[in-house]
Amino acid sequence: MKFNKSLNLLLVSLEALLVNSEKVTFKVLAVNGTPTLNIEGGQQYKMNVKEYPLYTVEADINSFPVKYNYILNYDNGQNEIEEFMRQRNKDDDSLNEFFNRSVTVLEHPQLPKAYKAFPHYVPSKLYDDTHIATIIVKCDPNDLQGLYQNLDDEGLKINAEVIYANPYGVKTYKNTYLSLGGQSTKHAPKLSYKIKNLKNDKNKELFNRSSIKLRAEHMDPSFLRDKLYGDILNSLGVPAAQNKLARLFINGEAIGLFDITDPINNNRYLRETFNKGKKYKNENPIFKADYCYSSCSDRPVYGDLGYYGDDATNPMYSIYTYKGEDKSSDSDSHFINELLPLIKDINAYTSGATDKMPFDIDIFLRYMAMEYLAGAIDNYWNKPGNYYVFKDLSKDQWYFHDTDFHFSFGVGGDEDLMLNTPLSNYPPTLDDGVERSRPPLDSILSHSENKEKFVSIFDRLLKTSFHPKAILPRLDSLANLIREDAYWDFTLPRVSQSDSQIDTDLIFEKSDFDSHVSNEEPEARYGNMPIKYFINTKSDLLAKELGIMIPENFENDLGYVENPNQTSNANAKMIWSIYTILISFCLAMILY
């Protein structure tokens, strides 16, 4: 880059000769009101809307670094000034800042890979996690009331316009559908949402995603458990829904901080994850499994993937739901034609009738290792449910796909058991009437070579991405990025109008965020455990049980899980310099 540097130097000196003040663009996102740029010891500039909610202005700057902040002028004549100063250096990019948030972009320590990336997966720039996105929804207020009053109406969706803004740009989707998300969490005061049909006039999607979920994380004052879990799954090279945080506004009203994530059964997600982004020719089968303790039948029913005979009306089979897009036959027929044969194949493997396990064994064991290490109380191994099974017909391959990890790392109940139960006694918490057997897992582990493989996955995890020196600095950095937004979330009124609300006593404040992300002591309010305490303790306990020596520093022989950066600034800057040089050159020729 020496060449580039000296050219830059040349250009800078050239500029200095020509002008002594510089035009600098300032950009800020403001959901309500009109912002004014306030230069310390200098002028104020009223800003203009460029593309709502983005406001910009060019200011003459004589010396760097320049200190400034923004003032928000509301329609009712009131003003609000940011309580902190921002700073811009000469070469800094002009990014879209967010009013009242001091952090715009923060790079995090990356996680060392435990295994190579899943080979059929392409990352989406939507999940560049070095910033918080802003999502602004506009919809008919009466439609919205309708959603809030009919929480249990599964199919209910309303028309909405969605604006997605981040430090680099603003994208608008005029014809999306907004609906509510979550199952057990639907009656919590803070709701979760889904947005579908994210396609603009040119049929372009949101960074290769047409549908997203906005998870409320109402039980997790760190907002980061789903995210951390997903990041470690990325390091394990298994298919995984991605996560990134976003602040949500609906019709001008602040709703809160949410985890953006992928709906697993969405076609776009599936092809980006399992087929390198290439469109599938066929409708692939996909099913979701749940866990239902008392409300579904007179006994608990759950998706253990066990064989309960050929009668498809067995209550244990009622827990699987077809989630694909083929409407030519109903869910029951899909079960009989696609899932029941899978269950029988698993059973044949269990009984020794075949050597072929229909799932990829390595991937399945990696998910299970992570469930154990993260204390995932609400996932397959402990409570068989909360996962999908997907068949890629073009590869003739079934995949187990784990999902939904907010109850982990010391929240979700029975925290002591989830932390302290040895691997040899796992799973610990058995609801009455729920069997211990997990047919595919048990039969995989009954082969001694697989048992060794399982131990080697734990060994690898403890030395790479689950190593406290790898994951905890990343946690610190993510927490620094979202802290102001987390605090803000706790102050907001909740919009649910359910008259049978759950978890109304879970009211978090700043100190809950702080203890969950940084405390190394065992206790947090509501019986929870802080993430750091959980990870440190779990890693020590398992290392002792399996006789693993955790090295002083993590291993990174496979490199790191890369963040899908939205802009590679280095490249953008270089291209810009080349342009400037070319133009200067042409000008020089003309003048000459």
Min separation Cβ 274 and ligand NAG, Å: 12
Give 80 or 503: the residue with its C-beta nearer to ligand NAG: 80
| Count of CB atoms situated within 10 Å of the CB of 592 | 5
Q: Which of residues 52-91 bind ligand NAG (CB under 6 A)?
A: 80, 83
Place of tokens 């901080």: 257
CA distance 87 to 100: 14
| 501 contributes a contact to ligand NAG by CB under 6 A | no
The token pair at 452 is 């060794």
Give 125 or 494: the residue with its C-beta nearer to ligand NAG: 125
Q: Which of residues 229-288 bind ligand NAG (CB under 6 A)?
A: 277
DSSP character string of 470-526: HHHHHHHHHHHHHHHHHHHHHHSPP----SS-S-TT----HHHHHHHHH--SS--GG
End-to-end CA distance of the chain: 30
CA distance 573 to 1: 12
Give 442 or 562: the residue with its C-beta nearer to ligand NAG: 562
φ, ψ for residue 224, nearest 5 deg: -115, 0
CA distance 225 to 579: 44
Strand arrangement, sheet containing 54-61: 48-51, 54-61, 22-29, 96-98
| 207 contributes a contact to ligand NAG by CB under 6 A | yes
**Choices 141-149, 226-234, 380-388, 563-571 (CB under 6 A): range interacting with ligand NAG:** 563-571
Written as one letter, the residue type at 203 is N
> Out of 124, 134, 235, 464, which residue is the one contacting ligand NAG (CB under 6 A)?
124
| 568 contributes a contact to ligand NAG by CB under 6 A | yes
Max CA pair span of the chain? 91
Give 279 or 436: the residue with its C-beta nearer to ligand NAG: 279
Give 242 or 265: the residue with its C-beta nearer to ligand NAG: 242
Give 32 or 329: the residue with its C-beta nearer to ligand NAG: 32
> Out of 73, 159, 208, 331, which residue is the one contacting ligand NAG (CB under 6 A)?
208
Min separation Cβ 117 and ligand NAG, Å: 12
**272 contacts 165 by C-beta, under 8 angstroms:** no
Q: At what angle do helices 531-546 and 510-518 cross, to 10 degrees?
A: 20
Whose CB is nearest to ligand NAG?
Answer: 277
| 558 contributes a contact to ligand NAG by CB under 6 A | no
**538 contacts 408 by C-beta, under 8 angstroms:** no
| 448 contributes a contact to ligand NAG by CB under 6 A | no
Place of tokens 């014809």: 175
Residue 89 class from Cβ within 10 Å (0-12 exposed, 13-18 middle, 19+ buried)? Answer: exposed
**Choices 15-23, 119-127, 458-466, 504-512 (CB under 6 A): range interacting with ligand NAG:** 119-127
Give 328 or 568: the residue with its C-beta nearer to ligand NAG: 568
Give 413 or 564: the residue with its C-beta nearer to ligand NAG: 564
Query: Three-state SS for 554?
Result: coil
> Out of 36, 56, 100, 539, which residue is the one contacting ligand NAG (CB under 6 A)?
100
**Choices 20-28, 118-126, 384-392, 516-524 (CB under 6 A): range interacting with ligand NAG:** 118-126
Binding footprint of ligand NAG on the chain (CB under 6 A): 80, 83, 100, 107, 122, 124-125, 207-208, 277, 562-565, 568
